[in-house]
A and B are shown apart, each in its own frame.
Chain A
Amino acid sequence: MTTILAQGGQTDLRLDATVLDYLLVAFYFLLVLGIGYAARRSVSSSLDFLLSGRSMPAWVTGLAFISANLGALELIGMVANGAQYGIPTVHYYWIGAIPAMVFLALVMMPFYYGSKARSVPEFLYKRFNRTTQRVQAVIFALSSVLIAGVNLFSLGLLLEALLGWSLGVAIPVAALIVLAYITLGGLSAAIYSEVLQFFVILALLIPLTISGLARVGGWNGLKAAVTNGPGGAEQLSSWPGTSLTEIANPALSVIGIVFGLGFVLSFGYWTTNFAEVQRALSAKSMSAAKRTPLIGAYPKALIPLVIIIPGMVAAVLVPQLQVLKSGGTTDVTYNNALSLLMKEVLPNGILGVAIAGLLAAFMAGMAANISSFNTVFTYDIWQDWVKPGKSDRYYLQVGRWITVIGCVLAIATAFIASGSGNIMDYLQSLFSFFNAPLFAIFILGLFWRRMTGTSAWIGLLSGTAAAVVVNILVTSGVLALSSQAGSFVGASAAFVVGVLVAIAVSMVSTPKPAAELGGLVWSLTSKEERTHESHGEDSGWYRDPKVLAVGVLALTTILYIIFW
């Protein structure tokens, strides 16, 4: 219970919000509900509801793409990491996201968008078989509802601590608001509010960073304070990041960051997470779909500056965090860093905007889970399996109802999450169970035409089983690893086991004929099929995905040089 917000009466975490602040928060939510209501008028088919009719411009899907990832758990967790580890936290953003986003855009997107699959499981059906689609759909539905519950529970904790609402009231109220805007407007409403949320979160983070830096005497003041503080100068440079990886040897630490974080975890997350990929699938054209992750990558590269620096400022400025960092006992945790700093430096007025941003971030996280859950459930479980062959209107109704059911289930799983010890650990192990094995069979299926359908779902299940076994060994203490290292080992095990089992089973089963694999396997897809249109709305060098990709890689390199 104490992960996000410490309990106990000493430190008052309650923000001194006034009527004005509440009015600013209320205005934001009125606007979000208004979007849902307005979006309703443009929803007339299930494709409209679940994939926004594939009509979104790239700047909208790109910002929604990054916003779906910028949930409040991420926000609170990364400010906390900034306070605890300092600059090395940038690895989560730069090597841990940018290469994978570029890979998704340039290599994977032609297959995802080009196959006209409406979901990741449907893509698996086209490449492999029905069983693989169903196994993945069920796994995905389960994980979405569990993760939505984590988001909802954390939101409840936040409302309880910041505004004084009780958990029993806060959780259902938050679920109702998310439900209202998704059932009304479907994915369009979710995506539009995500873009809105992106800007409101920046309106929280930028003033917070500037005020925080001003209070500690600017960047040089912060550097001096960190160097003389308990963290020392190593918290000011990104490499080798030994404190972050908990690997003492610098060379091994670098290898751990590059391969562990930069390859297995990040490629697994960014390339197969449907909550993300769905945003790109709703784009207008192949070119816009490719640009979606790339447009998202620019803010992803820059945003650590306004997330990690406030974290470092908080550790210098807030007395309780100073005590915590020098090893003393206190009733706060690093997870309180964001709200403690808000309380410390933001006056009323901007504080209301900041609370709206934080609440929006939690809701967006949950909305992303629910809106991808209802797509997978409607198309992959209901239309392709349980009740095929009905009218589109019928599936639109199913989509609306399953959203209601998803929110009710999320309220239930929120109370399950409230029973788990540490939310971030819970979330990390969920990712190692579900994303790493999926990435393994995806990448193998994309580049190896001989891979069979049977091998895909067996590989998927074996990978998940491997991650679960590692998780049990770590939590029971048989493997002496920290939770961070444990989820990395779990993800690697899931990946390796998934690949090996899939190769072994492929050897003894029959592959699909090559004629059915055009557009689904790299070697059987002509260059023309992978190429996007470049006329009309997709023309211009600044809309060329390759130019955007080179740009963001160069930006990341420059940032790494600055914060070496």
Chain B
Amino acid sequence: MLPVTGSGAPPVAGPAMLSVSGLGKSFPGVRALDGVDFTARAGEVHALIGENGAGKSTLIKVLTGVYKAGEGEVRYDGSAVRFATPLQAQHAGISTIYQEVNLVPLMSVARNLFLGREPRGRLGLIDFRRMHREAQEALRGLGVRVDVRRPLRELGVGAQQMVALARAVSVDARVVIMDEPTSSLEPREVATLFGVIRMLRGRGIAVIYVSHRLDELYEVCDTVTVLRDGKAVHTGPIAELDRLRLVALMLGREIGDVREEGLTKFSGNHDTEAQPVLEATGLTVRHQLDGVSLTIRPGEVVGLGGLLGSGRSETAKAIAGALPPDSGRVVIAGVPVRTGSTPAAIRAGVSLLPEDRKAEGIVPGLSVRENIALAALPGLSRFGLVDEARIDRVVDTFMKRLRIKASGPHQKVGELSGGNQQKVLLARWLAMNPKVLLLDEPTRGIDVGAKAEVQKLIDELADDGLGVLLISSDMEELIEGSDRVVVLKDGAVVEELTGDAVTEDRLMRAIAAAPAAQATTPATSGGDDD
């Protein structure tokens, strides 16, 4: 087969190289994969996409021997296989490049490239000269010029990723799996990567490509499989699937599907003409945010839309001071705030409900009472001594107002349900009298009843004059809860939907839109939203 260059017609796909059929995998409480069929063919670049929790990672881990298949069959090169360990899969010819580089940072570049298969001289000792020469050649082939004797960690993340790529390519792989390989690459490196992918395809290798960047998928992939909620909902040539349809499949939405309002607990709009309570301009974080600007007026709920990895959480964190931006300004109620400092942002009136409630939100071992009082503690103390009576009053007020269900204020927060944990966090911030609430996935992982209640609370808070930023992967919630939606893509604002334009349809179109000028696409993107 001749090497194919360019993104033109895909080559005639070869025989199935790595496939699964009827694959199921369960974890306690979660059905991660449910009857998935997936086939990667020789000489084909196969895109694997899906939102959070769709099952991509699980599928890859089964393919590479990290997890065992629950039900169903894995076939490799024509015969059924069961890889007991990742090493077995590697020896069989399945090479994986993970998002986080999995190399040994203290060893030299060359040693990393040849780890476990070093060229040997007489006496079985490592032939360093040969190893260095071959490493240099392998990397030059990828357009990377570095001293291969240097420790790997001295290289930039992009260059490290290229070393990982060189390693994957130089072993005799027949299947190469790439998990978000471009998340930390510069545009030039991305171009090199795509060149390598096409070369691999030309050699008849099956490439499985995981990414959230639609532009890349259309540029380099032949086939696409969309996973949603553990099921493969679509497989087919990517050229036959338009972007909008692809986004709709990922999000599980129908295009043009006009929904009636009232499915969520959000009520009407809060449009106001007041001065903005939050003005963020040009927030930029290398590889994560690219000049994000947005404003929120008091009493307004602004939604932040976009796919996984588009920089939603990063935007919220940058505003809240938890992610120091390289540049950009944050102004709260007309007063500039020092960026990169959580205490400064909090003093100015910014409160963040983080996405990872369990790890970054609650303090699980402390009581409901202590958790609510945590941020406001200095204000509830005199000369460093805690004023217990005042804390009791505050805690009592908010437990009633937010209808927190606990056996009492002294119950440990770790024992509460997700919805009540979220309410405790809300109470913690409301006790600070904030001006702006940043809510990152406020209803994820909490049950339906509590979800409606939290949504209603958000509404009430906006009515009380708070500026709210709402991040949600739940389309319905985002559309119905927001007065405006700012759409992010690859770390930059691509569109702002206002008024009647706040519809699922418009949102999906904005997410799916191809970049205006292909050549100048900034190579920034969010890290994983997780």
A and B: interacting chains: no
Query: Which A residues are within 8 Å of any B CB, using their own CB?
Result: none
